[in-house]
Chains A and B, each alone.
Chain A
């Protein structure tokens, strides 16, 4: 079994009550934003599947469907096993160039297909 790496420790902020009070404040703020947005806009507008699905839809029509299946399955499996693929103790992105490049390529591909599909 591998040892857990040492982590640097630093001065922190008391969780109770200071941090908790701020957290609760943020929770109310976010809830408030959602409630205001929802009351200003019609519910039908909440359906913006384009944000999430335009890329996938475009990819299916641009390439052979089996290819899209392969790419998407690869990404999901890759994410799932990432901790076992990238086993070094380095956490800084510049010192993990290969995995960072793979994820960057996936993000660029997704953005590109989304723009094409809009």
Chain B
């Protein structure tokens, strides 16, 4: 519809003009012109519009929410197993403070917890989709392998996150992990030769021979420093590879 001068349509045209000019300016100054031109040519294949193909994206949304809320939570969290009261550690107490006194603390902690559960579920479903459509095959082997590493590290995130809460559930999880590691020593034939491995993992991450607070300090370090760095690096690789190979064709 061609509007009269000063009519609503012409205002829209002008706003549109301002938008286009701003966009062109940002693109030329940031050097992103080629990237956008290339993206403009991209088409999303019909079969990939199926919701099964959006599970990777949902996983990413959950991960971003986890990062943002995690930054907030970590500014209040104290990774210490020392007693605050006889039946509460300083760690558990710092979480109680986040929930009870920090403004929006309970809410942010809720978003962190729920996003973690959602991510755990959607990453499994994403893996299942990729497996069912056979999308790990030539040429996407590296995309799949970076994915498997992301899967391992996501569950390490979830496990260490539960440990940080420092309640009965954390103990159950540490015990399970410890049993799994001890399982190595009891392996038939090779177990005896590997007992240094389970001893080292137990001492470093769980046991008390290296520091008195092994579990919490290590879990906190892994959860907030090591894993985020590794995960971001793997995500960059994952997305670079997806863009390079495109989404796999229909079955």
Contact = CB atoms under 8 A, between A and B. Distances in A.
Given A34-B65, A52-B120, A69 B180 contact: yes
Contacts of B47: 10
A66 B173 contact: no
B91 to A, nearest CB: 15
A15 B179 contact: no
A79 B99 CA distance: 39
Contacts of B172: 49, 53, 57
A43 B169 contact: no
A53 B58 contact: no
B16 interface: no
Given A13-B43, A15-B44, A49-B169, A68 B180 contact: yes
Interface in A66-118: 66-70, 72, 76, 79-80, 82-84, 86-87, 89-93, 96, 103
9 contacts: A15-B43, A38-B111, A39-B107, A45-B113, A46-B110, A51-B121, A83-B145, A86-B136, A89-B138
Interface of A: 2, 4-5, 7-16, 19, 23, 26-27, 30-31, 34-35, 37-39, 41-43, 45-49, 51-53, 56-57, 60, 64-70, 72, 76, 79-80, 82-84, 86-87, 89-93, 96, 103
Interface of B: 36, 39-40, 42-47, 49, 54, 57-58, 61-62, 65, 99, 106-107, 109-118, 120-121, 127, 131-141, 144-145, 148-149, 151-152, 155, 158-159, 162, 165, 169, 172-173, 176, 179-180, 182-188, 191, 248-251
